[in-house]
Amino acid sequence: MKIAVFPGDGIGPEVTHEAVRVLQALDLPGLTLFEGDVGGIAYRRHGHPLPPETLEMARAADAVLFGAVGDPSCDGLERHLRPEQAILGLRAELGLFANLRPATTFPGLEGMSALRPEIAAAIDLLIVRELNGDVYFGDKGTRTLDDGQRQGWDMMAYAEGEVRRIAHLAFRAAQGRKRRLVSVDKANVLETSQLWRDVVNELAPEYPGVTLEHMYVDNAAMQLVREPGRFDVIVTGNLFGDILSDQASMCVGSIGLLASASLGERETAFGTFGLYEPIHGSAPDIAGQGRANPMATILSAAMMLRHSFGREADAARIESAVARALADGVRGGDLGGEAGTAAIGDAVLERL
Ligand code: NAI
Ligand code: MG
């Protein structure tokens, strides 16, 4: 089990350290960890946020555990040298086309949500966002119109193969959960969305156990705060998924608890190759103080065991250890508590 660990900068190394301790405590057969530089630290050591040796390490691994990047001392650099290019570069170079973000309200934390506690309590959903297409990767530019005005433009496009692979992944995810899939688009206005909807409908007969529903993105945004408990799996394109996944994550409360997986098509001896990271950034305001909550990174390691190594039981053990630590009142600063990074790691390890 070869895992490339890229701690990054800011709180990245602190939270990654705790997740690595948890992985090591599980006695996984043949576990080998390699550490590589990304982000601001990589820029300082190698002159680039994603050095070739780091990329090679990722390619040679079965999965990547990523901390966070975003060193503010790099703010003045050109865009291609900024720390954030490390994560964008890894997603593109490794063909990671599916971003999975579970959002679940942990018992006892309903009050942390921006929603009313009884509404937040019902949240247990997974957003599957397409990551390699849409307006982010289409032709784009700024041109001057005949009347002299400047016009910015970005082309939204999806090929049916791109829709098919993300839809298959979402249907399969729904099969392993509550078997309800909502596909989000804007098919009343966009051609891209109409094709998306047609392709998803074409695949539906292959998944007879999954209930499929289509929803316009504006309505989905509304339903996510009105009745988030109605959702199980949501699948959507890159742009809508970017917005809805941030919205959904805040419906459950703290940023220090939310994990993510980015998956591609590459299969290893164990499962699907993927990159796993907390959804938060490098939190420069608390970096180096031992105050960051490592739970999101620990939960990302659990997702890794589930998706890249087929070790559901180990993943569930980690998740239940985190849930029990929270239920016992172990709270990081992001949850208004006092527990530091290492103390939270210890608390999870004890319960493991
Ligand atoms: P951020 O997520 O780093 O921090 C937002 C707020 O949440 C801060 O007050 C921070 O202290 C707090 N916070 C975040 N994670 C926490 C944790 N685990 N425990 C306790 N508190 C936590 O977002 P921000 O400040 O907008 O971005 C900082 C840098 O991170 C920027 O350079 C940004 O580009 C980068 N970034 C990188 C990401 C990545 O590596 N994938 C994702 C998001 C942002
Ligand atoms: Mg975002």
- CATH code for position 164: 3.40.718.10
Query: What is the domain extent for residue 231?
Result: 110-253
Ligand 1 cavity residues, CB under 6 Å: 11, 15, 68-70, 84, 87, 255-256, 277, 280-286, 292-293, 296, 332-334
Pocket test for ligand 1, best of 16, 282, 344 (most atoms within 8 A of CB): 282
Q: Is residue 240 part of a domain?
A: yes
Q: Are residues 116 and 229 in the same domain?
A: yes
Give, to the nearest 10 degrees, the angle between helix 12-25 and helix 341-351.
20
CA–CA distances in Å: residue 158 to residues 128, 161, 166, 173, 347: 16, 8, 11, 21, 45
Based on the fold, state whether residues 141 and 275 are members of the same structural domain.
no
The answer to whether position 103 is within a domain reads: no
Question: Catalytic residue at 43?
Answer: no
- Give the ipTM of the model, two decimals please: 0.97
Shared domain for 130 and 246, answered yes or no, is yes
Digitized pLDDT (tens) for each residue of the chain, 352 residues in all: 999 999 999 999 999 999 999 999 999 999 999 999 999 999 999 999 999 999 999 999 999 999 999 999 998 998 889 999 999 899 989 999 999 999 999 988 998 888 999 999 999 999 999 999 999 888 999 999 999 999 999 999 999 999 999 999 999 999 999 999 999 999 999 999 999 999 999 999 999 999 999 999 999 999 999 999 999 999 999 999 999 998 998 898 788 999 999 999 999 999 999 999 999 999 999 999 999 999 999 999 999 999 999 999 999 999 999 999 999 999 999 998 999 999 999 999 999 9
Any domain includes 104: no
116 and 249 inside one domain: yes
User: Do 171 and 247 fall into the same domain?
Assistant: yes
Domain count, the chain: 2
Does 283 belong to an annotated binding site? yes
Task: Tell me if 92 is assigned to some domain.
Answer: yes
Do residues 317 and 298 make contact, with C-beta atoms less than 8 angstroms apart? no
* Cβ neighbourhood burial of 75 (10 Å; 0-12, 13-18, 19+): exposed
CA–CA separation, 337 vs 334, rounded Å?
7
**Looking at 197, 220, 253, which one is the last position of a domain?**
253
Q: What is the pTM of this model?
A: 0.93
Residue at a domain's end among 253, 285, 320: 253
Ligand 2 centroid to Cα of residue 246, in Å, is 6
User: Residue 146 domain-assigned?
Assistant: yes
Q: Are residues 209 and 324 in the same domain?
A: no
Integer Cα distance of 210 and 227 in angstroms:
20
